[in-house]
Amino acid sequence: MPQSKAGRVAFEPLLLGLRRIPELHGVARDGDSLRIGALVTMTELMESALVRAHCPILVEAADQFASDQVRNVATIGGNVCNASPAGDTLVPLLALDAEVELVAKPNGLLTGRRVPIGEFFKGPGKTLRARHEIVAALRVPIGVPGRFMRFFKLGSRPALDISAISIGVCARRDAGVLSEVRVAFGAVAPVPLRGRATEAALEGRQLTEAVIETAAAAARDEVHPIDDFRASAWYRREMVHNMLKKVLADAT
């Protein structure tokens, strides 16, 4: 509604309602993955025992999403298709190595494909999704139990605000040594970003003060935010540095 009222999005002559497609609802375990239906709302994410057990970082993101009213209707599929660089579930999904499940029915035949979420976003509001496809689900690999996961969102107020920056971290920790480290950032580039240099600074290391500082500095260097009415590029870089330090310090 805000986008159409601002004139950025025109209503299509044909609208398609997805709500009654059962395959787009619910969270289920499918082998080594969780299949989260595209129509799962933020409230349902927070209440799902499977999501809470295997992807608590998504629960954290949903908990900080807008307000109760918006959480009750906003779906994870809509958040992904909206492709805002500040979309709150995109950062955890990147940190979790999720895949986007797309389906289409050209010529009456149902076809599907899966795209790694890191390849799905092409720019603000732009994705790899073809016009005739819908997002059916998000698939999240179930990693080893007890991984460290954290989502951090910075806005100008605690409720009903879009992220000025957001950070997602997911890692294994064996005897204090980090492995399979995934770090993602939101609102600091045209698309949600994997922090490859930050990950390299953490992989295989103990979380000492020096390692945390090196990783936070790498994060500040690899994001490329813009100035806008929410925050300046300089402020965003500094907050990425400072807040990643806080997230990692919490992990110790």
Ligand X SMILES: Cc1cc2nc3c(=O)[nH]c(=O)nc-3n(C[C@H](O)[C@H](O)[C@H](O)COP(=O)(O)OP(=O)(O)OC[C@H]3O[C@@H](n4cnc5c(N)ncnc54)[C@H](O)[C@@H]3O)c2cc1C
Among 27, 62, 74, 223, which residue sits at the site for ligand X (rule: CB under 6 A)? 74
Applying CB under 6 A, does 75 fall inside the site for ligand X? yes
Residue ranges of the alpha helices (H) in the chain?
2-5, 42-47, 49-54, 56-63, 68-73, 76-82, 90-95, 117-120, 196-202, 209-222, 233-251
Nearest-approach distance from CB 225 to ligand X, in angstroms: 17
Question: What's the one-letter identity of residue 219?
Answer: A
Applying CB under 6 A, does 135 fall inside the site for ligand X? yes
Among the candidate windows 47-55, 67-75, 198-206, 235-243, which touches ligand X by CB under 6 A? Answer: 67-75
Applying CB under 6 A, does 26 fall inside the site for ligand X? no
Cα(237)–Cα(223) distance, rounded to whole angstroms?
7
Residue placing its CB nearer to ligand X in the complex, 129 or 237: 129
Nearest-approach distance from CB 197 to ligand X, in angstroms: 25
CA-based nearest residue to 114, from 96, 125, 129, 94: 129
Applying CB under 6 A, does 198 fall inside the site for ligand X? no
- Tokens coding 56: 């608590």
3-state secondary structure string across 46-60? HHCHHHHHHCHHHHH
List of residues 6+ apart from 83 with CB closer than 8 A: 90, 120, 121, 122, 123, 124, 125, 126, 127, 191
Number of residues that bind ligand X (CB under 6 A): 19
Applying CB under 6 A, does 162 fall inside the site for ligand X? yes
Applying CB under 6 A, does 166 fall inside the site for ligand X? no
List of residues 6+ apart from 175 with CB closer than 8 A: none
Q: Is there a contact between 141 and 154 (Cβ–Cβ < 8 Å)?
A: no
Residue placing its CB nearer to ligand X in the complex, 43 or 179: 43
What x-and-dash track marks residues 76-95 binding ligand X by CB under 6 A? -xxx-xx----xx-------
Applying CB under 6 A, does 38 fall inside the site for ligand X? yes
Applying CB under 6 A, does 22 fall inside the site for ligand X? no
Using CB under 6 A, list all residues that contact ligand X.
2, 18, 38, 65-66, 70, 73-75, 77-79, 81-82, 87-88, 134-135, 162
